[in-house]
Amino acid sequence: MTLTSFVRKNAFRNLRRSILTVLSIGFSLLLLTLMMAIWRNFYMEKGSEESALRLVTRHKVSLVFSMPSYYREKIRAIPGVAVVVPGNWFGGVYKDDKSGNFFAQFGTDPDEFFKVYKEWKIPDDQITAWQRDRAGAVVDSELAKKYGWKIGQRIIITGTIFPTNLELNIRGLFTAPQPTQAVYFNQKYVEEAVPFMKGQQGFYTILASSAADVPKVNRAVDDTFRNSPQPTKTETEKAFQLGFLAMLGNVKAFILSICGAVVFAILLVSANTMAMSIRERTREVAVLKTLGFTRGTVLGLFVGEAVVLALIGGIGGSVVAYLIGMGAAKAGGFAGALHVKVATMAVAWAAAAFMGFFSALVPSYTASRLGIVDGLRHIG
Amino acid sequence: MAIPISYNIRNLKLRKGLTVMTALGIALTVTTALFIMALLAGLQKAFKTTGNPLNVMVVRKGSTSELTGPFPADNFGTLKTLPGIAKNAAGEPLVSGETVVVIVLPRADGSGEVNVSVRGMMQNGLALRGGVKLAQGRWFTPGQREVVVSESIHKRFSHANVGDTMEFGKGSWQVVGIFDAGGTAYESEVWGDVNQMNSDFDRQGVYSSAYLRATDPVAAAALKNRVGDDQRLKLDGSLETEYYAKQTSSGSVIKFIGLLVAAIMAIGSSFAAMNTMYAAVAYRSREIATLRVIGFSRPSILTSFVFEAVLLSLLGAAVGIVLMLPFNGMTTGTSNQVTFSEVVFSLQVWSPWVIGSAVLFAIVMGLAGGIFPAWHASRREILAALRD
Amino acid sequence: MSTATVPNIATKTKVIQARNVSKVFTRDAFQVKALDNVSIEIAGGDFVALMGPSGSGKTTLLNMIAAIDRPTAGELLVLGQNIFTFSDSQSAKWRNEHIGYVFQTFNLIPVLTAFENVELPLLLTKLNSQQRRDHVMTALKLVGLEDRVHHLPKQLSGGQEQRVAIARAIVSDPTLLLADEPTGDLDSNSATEVLEILRRLNQDFHKTVIMVTHDPHAASYAHVTRHLEKGMLLPA
Ligand SMILES: Nc1ncnc2c1ncn2[C@@H]1O[C@H](COP(=O)(O)OP(=O)(O)O)[C@@H](O)[C@H]1O
Ligand SMILES: [Mg+2]
């Protein structure tokens, strides 16, 4: 036996209490890990190298307003712009979908689309096939897997915003680094079916020539259209995605306040448990001291015990969070933000250990200061 | 025979430290749940209470919002003549053709820009919205470049005081009044004359929507159906109240996340409460045995301990409610997923629904945490417990 | 002050020299004089029985010697050291090295096996695990429990528990063995076993034993019996 194994034995002395404490801390840590994962994925990840080179230009007021098609040529002329493609939200529903699951459909320009999304993988012959078929579409391979789609299959998307239905032929399957769960088709299809969409585009995705060009292009695009009837707002792909999130409200404050509540809850739960166990072991503390244990060692024993419990809860909670994140990442879209990195899990463990440590300080200190004479006389 | 309540209260007092810490843990959970419920209550209130059930709102067929479907102004002439429409003081049909656009305004605190809905309406538009009261200044004058803004916009944005000018569309607009929309969705809007707006936003000849006041509820339902059924119009009608109630989709995301968070925290807290109650049972095992010897039955011991757990969590709930009260009425914003403009709403802590569910939430937590330990306490053999 | 520099105690040198030791407990408004001007000298290798009615101050005196408690007045030299000048950690180390303490209620750690309970004081020393194992097994053999090594306290009888407690007290080879009513909770057979062990420790291993007891039979194992009454030590 060592002092460490003594701590471990003490931690599970009252098995039911330890399990309840671990569960309580574990649930809190599950939440904390997910919140940290969201925070990290939203606000700390820079995105891929390619993504950092991409900018999105939309109507200054809102994505629901469109911009003229000729903006594309004007943007293309700006120095530092390598490629620019239009994008249009179709917002239809898949006809054969019984589950009611929603996925995104975008109208774009097949000729240049994959020049902007260079890192997405798709065979060249499939791109060519898509370019040749006006009713062609490329779909995320994850999405195709979900619905069991094959190349050559026809899918029908019913319009909700636009008074038309899309009958699309699947010409290619692409694989993006992170699942997009999206379908891309030729916007000309919609323009022909819906006259008021002619000459209009929802947003433009720009690929800058180099990282240094990104801020310049960003400013130049908005300056170009500042005084036109349709002013623009250009932001990095990442910021554009975050914009959707910001619409929900003050997400940062929401996450922070939940984290705060969780941390306090863990501190209370853990301190409570330690206070109970220490109180029950008053007499034992006196015995240990009689055997020659110093105050410091006694303090260490109890603090260690709290850290052990908190760590087990933390590891359990974060592993469950990791599994949830893995499942969610498959679903793609914003659920992908739940993806938990190992580094985030490590932070969660450290947080758990720290909280265990701090929660135990006060009760353990009190126990370590208790006089031996009083401790030995303690009944109960 | 029941064990007196004062016994439980005294026991909670006796183990003050334990009681306080557990109650605080429960309080934190209740606070989180309360926060989320208050958020939802505010959001729901903002949308649900918007509108008069006699008002029928008309948009282009297939369109889900006032923003996405302009329809020809000619159709408005047809709408006016439909049966079942109430008359205004001047004896004309109480209807309003309106234009809704979204503009970008800078926040007063300088923390960026926010989308705000601007609504152009006919003079009747004000009469159609009887619930909206003027708080300062006067209403806009038709034919003038004048606007009235809601109180929350007045508070949250710069250049939104009476006498200020706002820049949007093709020039400046004079703010002549501030209205109190009573926490409805209109709380996030700027109102002006529809013709002025249409010319500024190049929307001549179309309206975003039309509002018709029906004479009575039956007429409202009939009017709504008639609009939808008329093949010439290609329009859709819905009750104004229904339309706004449907727009809480951003609320459903918040609701989903919020409920999930609250549930996870609640499970965690129940375990903690269970721990405390188990400890209470262990400390009092002799006492329980003594009570049994005196003649208290197992059910009465069970009830007593469950009751004590519930008491503990109610204490937590009370603390949680007190902690949240300062935030009552605090306003925040979220985006309307349909209009992409900001919806302002306030946290509704002090509502019977919210307080009631917080208390219920705490009681469930207390029951979950108390029932096993209480069962355990009541099952113990008298002699075994006395020997402890 | 280092506690390690205790000279090898030859028998018949004074291991304990108490002069006019008094201890007053103040609880609320009451004052209890637990020890009243106690002076006693105990020679190395002695086996002393302390007797006296309940509340006469026996445990208090034992606690003083173990550096668990401090007197309100007087002077006490243990192994030639004035232990009341020790800091908390010094007296902890002191107890670990020089004092073995046996309680009436055994006070074994319930989650640890017999072996682990005995090993506990050694965790504070620099011994490696093999050395610790040797010490523990020697101590357990001495109390006749080498076949109960992996039993938890609750799997042992009272007498066995007390023997484990004695093994724990002697495992670090202390000079002084203090026992506070070690047979008080035992039946007479177990009590005799325990007393035999104490006698062996005194005779064969030259431990100085101070034992508090109510039982004249137990006291008969000692060389000297002293009586305490109302905090005062009666003349020998
Ligand atoms: N920590 C304490 N606080 C207050 N009074 C004490 C304390 N320890 C002992 N006493 C009192 O001192 C007296 C002697 O106690 P003790 O040495 O335990 O007696 P004994 O061991 O002979 O039965 C008793 O009256 C007891 O109540
Ligand atoms: Mg005593």
Q: What is the pLDDT of residue C1?
A: 38
The overall pTM is greater than 0.90? no
C-contacting residues in A 291-310 (Cβ below 8 Å): 291-297
Q: Taking a C-beta distance cutoff of 8 angstroms, is the pair B377, B299 a contact? A: no
Q: How confident is the model at residue B374 (pLDDT cuts 50, 70, 90)?
A: confident
Indicate the residue of A17, A63, A257 with minimum beta-carbon distance to B278. Answer: A17
Cross-chain Cβ contact A264/B254 below 8 Å: no
Q: How confident is the model at residue A96 (pLDDT cuts 50, 70, 90)?
A: low
Number of domains composing chain C: 1
Q: Any idea which ligand is nearest the CA of C50?
A: 1
Cross-chain Cβ contact A291/C120 below 8 Å: yes
With pLDDT > 90 as the criterion, what percentage of chain A qualifies? 50
Cα of C35 to ligand 1 centre, how many Å? 9
Other CB atoms closer than 10 Å to residue A320's CB: what's the count? 17
Q: What is the pLDDT of residue C11?
A: 53
Cross-chain Cβ contact A31/B267 below 8 Å: no
**pLDDT tens, residue by residue, B273-318:** 788 778 777 777 777 778 888 888 888 888 888 888 888 888 888 9
Nearest protein Cα to ligand 1, atom 3:
C25
Cross-chain Cβ contact A1/C101 below 8 Å: no
Q: Which chains touch A (3 or more CB pairs under 8 A)?
A: B, C
Q: Taking a C-beta distance cutoff of 8 angstroms, is the pair C69, A376 a contact? A: no
Domain contains C1: no
Atom of ligand 1 nearest to the CA of C53: 22
Cα of C54 to ligand 2 centre, how many Å? 7
Preferred mutation among C35, C58, C111, C166 to probe A, highest tally of A CBs within 10 A: C111
Per-residue pLDDT at C61 exceeds 50: yes
Give the SS3 label for residue B93. strand
**C53 pocket-lining for ligand 1 (C-beta < 6 Å):** no
B374 vs B273: CA distance, rounded Å: 12
Strands (DSSP E) contained in chain C are 14-27, 30-43, 47-51, 73-78, 81-82, 99-102, 176-180, 208-212, 224-229, 232-233
Q: How confident is the model at residue C134 (pLDDT cuts 50, 70, 90)?
A: very high
Q: What is the pLDDT of residue A367?
A: 84
**pLDDT tens, residue by residue, B66-79:** 776 678 888 888 88
Cross-chain Cβ contact C123/A287 below 8 Å: no
**pLDDT tens, residue by residue, A265-274:** 888 888 888 8
Residues A17-41: b if buried by 16+ CB within 10 A, e if exposed: bbbbbbbbbbbbbbbbbbbbbbbbb
Using an 8 Å CB-CB cutoff, list chain A residues near B67. 64
Nearest protein Cα to ligand 1, atom 19:
C55
Positive/negative CA dihedral, B286, B289, B294, B296: positive
**pLDDT tens, residue by residue, A169-224:** 999 999 988 778 899 999 998 888 877 778 889 899 999 999 999 999 999 999 99
**pLDDT tens, residue by residue, B247-273:** 655 556 667 777 788 788 888 878 887
**C25 pocket-lining for ligand 1 (C-beta < 6 Å):** yes
**C123 pocket-lining for ligand 1 (C-beta < 6 Å):** no
**pLDDT tens, residue by residue, A41-51:** 888 776 777 88
Cross-chain Cβ contact C119/A1 below 8 Å: yes
**pLDDT tens, residue by residue, B39-64:** 777 766 666 667 788 999 998 876 76
Which range marks the domain in which residue C113 is found? 14-233
Q: What is the pLDDT of residue B303?
A: 86
Positive/negative CA dihedral, B254, B257, B261, B266: positive
Partner B contacted by A194 (CB < 8 A) = no
Cα of C57 to ligand 1 centre, how many Å? 6
Using an 8 Å CB-CB cutoff, list chain B residues near A17. 275, 278-279
**pLDDT tens, residue by residue, C1-33:** 344 444 455 456 889 999 999 999 988 888 999
Per-residue pLDDT at A380 exceeds 60: no
Q: Any idea which ligand is nearest the CA of C180?
A: 2
Q: What is the pLDDT of residue B343?
A: 60
Indicate the residue of C92, C103, C107 with minimum beta-carbon distance to A292. Answer: C92
* More confidently predicted of B88 and A44: B88
**C56 pocket-lining for ligand 1 (C-beta < 6 Å):** yes
Cα of A377 to ligand 2 centre, how many Å? 10
Atom of ligand 1 nearest to the CA of C60: 17
**C234 pocket-lining for ligand 1 (C-beta < 6 Å):** no
Residue pairs spanning A and B at CB distance below 8 A? 124
Give me the residues paired with residue B165 across strands: B174
State the alpha helices, DSSP H only, in chain A.
3-11, 15-39, 49-52, 71-76, 113-116, 124-132, 141-147, 187-193, 213-225, 237-246, 251-280, 282-290, 295-331, 342-369, 372-377
Computed over every residue of chain B, the mean pLDDT equals 81
**pLDDT tens, residue by residue, A22-38:** 999 999 999 999 999 98
Domain ranges in chain A are 3-45+250-377, 61-230
Domain contains C6: no
Computed over every residue of chain A, the mean pLDDT equals 87
**C2 pocket-lining for ligand 1 (C-beta < 6 Å):** no
What is each CA distance from C176 to C92, C172, C198, in whole angstroms? 15, 11, 12
Q: Any idea which ligand is nearest the CA of C55?
A: 1
Give the SS3 label for residue A312. helix
Q: What is the pLDDT of residue C5?
A: 46
| C99-102 β-sheet, strand order | C99-102, C176-180, C208-212, C47-51, C224-229, C232-233
Domain contains C145: yes
Cross-chain Cβ contact C88/A372 below 8 Å: no
Q: Which chains touch B (3 or more CB pairs under 8 A)?
A: A
**C67 pocket-lining for ligand 1 (C-beta < 6 Å):** no
Say how many residues make up chain C. 236
Q: What is the pLDDT of residue A327?
A: 85
Indicate the residue of B21, B68, B104 with minimum beta-carbon distance to A61. Answer: B104
Q: How confident is the model at residue A332 (pLDDT cuts 50, 70, 90)?
A: low
Q: Do chains A and B touch (3 or more CB pairs under 8 A)?
A: yes
Indicate the residue of B64, B332, B340 with minimum beta-carbon distance to A160. Answer: B64
Domain contains C103: yes
Q: What is the CATH classification number for the domain harbouring C30?
A: 3.40.50.300
**pLDDT tens, residue by residue, C63-87:** 999 999 989 999 999 999 898 888 8
**C130 pocket-lining for ligand 1 (C-beta < 6 Å):** no
Domain contains C155: yes
Pairing, β B71-72 against β B206-207 = antiparallel
* More confidently predicted of B370 and A246: B370
